[in-house]
Amino acid sequence: MFAYDFMQNAFAAAGIVAVLAGVVGYFMVLRGQTFAGHALSHVGFTGATGAVLVGLSPLAGMMGMTVAAGVAMGMLGERLAHRDVAIGIVLSLSLGFGLLFLHFYTAFATQATALLFGNVLAVDAATVWTLLAVGILCLGALGVIMRPLLFASLQPELAEARGVPVRGFGMIFLAVVALATAACAQIVGVLLVFTLMVGPAAAALRVTGSVGRGLLLAAALALAEAWVGIAVAYVTDWPSSFWITALSGAAYLLAVAAVRG
Amino acid sequence: MMDAPGTPAVALRDVTLRLGGRPVLDAVTLAIGACEFVGVLGPNGAGKTTLMRTILGLVQPERGTVQVLGRAAARGNPAVGYMPQSRVALPTTRLTGQQMVAATVRGERLGLPSAGHATRAEVDRVLGLVDARALARRPMAEMSGGERQRVLLAQALVGRPRLLLLDEPLISLDPHHQHDVIALVRHVQLSLGITVLFSAHELNPLLGVLDRVLYLGGGRAALGTVDEVITGPVLSRLYGAEIDVVRLHGRIFVMAGRQEVAHCSHHAGASDDVRV
Ligand SMILES: Nc1ncnc2c1ncn2[C@@H]1O[C@H](COP(=O)(O)OP(=O)(O)O)[C@@H](O)[C@H]1O
Ligand SMILES: [Mg+2]
């Protein structure tokens, strides 16, 4: 199956995104911010459809929109934390606007499914390079702030007292989450980013008590789920996003069962 | 490094501090000496947490000066250890006591989390100080309240602080575990020769270990021995209401009218003032 260009692109893109999603997701779960990824992906849908409407690339539109929303979330910070209703309304509005933009751009109908549920087999070489650049940028930024971010995630008030700019790093992290979400949506779609960002990380956090091993396990799990998912999709001709969600769900359940049993 | 003899651990001069328009501290002047164990008491909202955050340099007073170990209070002072009131709400993770403390060791530095020898040695040292080496490999989420408190205390001791601010470490612990935590803090304080500010709702569990009490209320503060501070006239001034102090079988009850005060709601019920 590696004889085809589109399969090579699919494996490369999924590999880059999975490692990124696993590492970023680990901190999202640790910080209790999994919902942020979910929310950002919805907003990204509006960005992607809006961009297409004005003749820009959907990936660029999605990333612009998610990063703007991520930074806004970081600035609102605490005040946003318990506003379930407000967040829910913004999410619905985002999808609603996305739908409206699609309506104006009628030829775009098949693209809608790809945006919502992903179409990794349609990823071209240029997108792979973009994803690689985004992946390096995000992991690089995370590498620089990881130590104080971990401190601030586990003990925010103590970290603040020790001089960690807790809010500033929180904002940088949300910008990273935003880019990772947009990258992830290229593989599994806007509606399923949870499956690569949260599933493997949550499983890893349940299995190992060490941060280092947890990060490696989250990235490895995400990578295995993405690659195996695409391979099985190639054989069965069922959608790859389905197989990735199935594997992610199974891995999480296994992690829960393994720790209980 | 030793402090010059007589340098107070904490010195507030004429400090006025407002939060949300209300004065939490109103022209307060006080000095806490080196190696003192001071209980910080007062009703909910009296300003115990705010006082600690001021000493940490996280809250700026509107007026007056705050000196900590001879220098102006400033964020990031490694000589001040802190155990915040709000406890870590660990999600469903298996992070161990070791990892929890390790994240604190020079956690403000940029770069990747450290798993190096120096970090492990420091974690081992502080866990040893609180007799919690056995908790190093246990997941935080599976520890009892008292065990978790030990790990958090170890975290506060990272970096060899000379002043330790413990914000309500007894909250949600049963009396037995409360006693353990108090004895442990006293032991650590005496063996390291450091100053401890220990805030609490209730005075009685602390009576055996306190050097002095700092009682906060109504924007004012009273600092002195238990016998000097826990009296009807002093507390009446802090509460702005008639307060009686009843001593019974070595315990002290602070009463407003027929009701005992300075208790949090988990002690609600008339049985409070008949306990022996
Ligand atoms: N961030 C804040 N903004 C406005 N008011 C605050 C803030 N934090 C605390 N307060 C108020 O300051 C007073 C002191 O609070 P606090 O220091 O938490 O008291 P304690 O720790 O003794 O219960 C309370 O009246 C509280 O409502
Ligand atoms: Mg408090």
Amino acid A25: pLDDT: 96
Nearest to B28 by CA among B56, B54, B3: B54
Give tens-digit pLDDT for B135-150.
Answer: 999 999 888 888 999 9
pTM: 0.91
How far apart (Å, rounded) are the C-alpha atoms in residues B263 and B242? Answer: 17
Domain count, chain B: 3
pLDDT band per the 50, 70, 90 thresholds, residue B269: very low
Asked if the C-beta of A32 comes within 8 angstroms of chain B's C-beta atoms, the answer is yes
Domain limits of chain A?
5-192
Least confident of A46-55, A185-194, B68-77, B240-249: B240-249
Amino acid at B167: D
Is B60 a domain residue?
A: yes
Cα A246 to ligand 1 centroid, rounded to whole Å: 48
pLDDT of residue A70: 87
DSSP annotation of B113: P
Q: Find all residues with CB under 8 Å of B91, minimum gap 6, and list them.
A: A29, A30, A32, A205
Q: B46 and B178: one domain?
A: yes
Answer yes or no: are the C-beta atoms of A32 and B91 closer than 8 Å: yes
Alpha carbon separation from B217 to B40, B48, B49, B198, B234 (Å, rounded): 11, 9, 13, 16, 10
Which residues have CB under 8 Å from A34's CB, separation 6+? A25, A28, A194, A197, A198, A202
Exposure on the CB side of residue A6, measured as CA atoms within 13 A: 8
Dist. CA B19 → ligand 1 center (Å): 7
Whether B24 maps to a domain, the answer reads yes
Q: Cα–Cα–Cα angle for B135, B89, B75, nearest 5°?
A: 90
pLDDT along chain A (261 residues), means of 10: 87 96 96 86 90 88 91 74 70 85 74 83 92 97 97 93 93 94 91 92 93 96 96 94 95 90 65
CA B133 to each of CA A93, B23, B144: distance values in angstroms, whole numbers, following the listed order: 52, 43, 15
Whether A162 and B76 lie within 8 Å, measured CB to CB: yes
Report yes or no on B225 lying in a domain: no
B186 with B258, same domain: the answer is no
The C-alpha atoms of residue A212 and residue B99 are separated, in whole angstroms, by 10
Q: Which residues of B9-39 are buried (b: 16+ CB within 10 A; e: fewer)?
A: bbbbeebebeeeeebbbbbbebebebebbbb
Are residues B99 and B127 located together in one domain of the fold? yes
Full domain range(s) for residue B20: 1-79+162-220
Which ligand ends up closest to the CA of A78?
A: 1
Domain A5-192 class? mainly alpha
In residues, how long is chain A? 261
Sign, CA dihedral B135-B123-A142-A50, equals positive
One domain for residues B1 and B73: yes
Residue B184 lies in a domain: yes
- For residue B116, the SS3 value is coil
Q: Considering B113, B144, B160, which residue would you say is the last residue of a domain?
A: B160
Give the one of A150, A157, A206 whose C-beta lies nearest to B94's C-beta: A206
Would you place residue B272 in the very low, low, confident or very high pLDDT band (cuts 50, 70, 90)? very low
**Subunit contact B108:A162, Cβ cutoff 8 A:** yes
* Residues B114-124: tens digit of each pLDDT: 888 999 999 99
* CB–CB contact A164 B107 (8 Å): yes
Instruction: Summarize pLDDT for B167-190 with one digit per residue, the tens.
Output: 999 988 888 999 999 999 999 999
Looking at the structure, tell me whether residues B152 and B210 fall in a common domain: no
Q: In this structure, what CATH number is given to the domain that contains residue B74?
A: 3.40.50.300
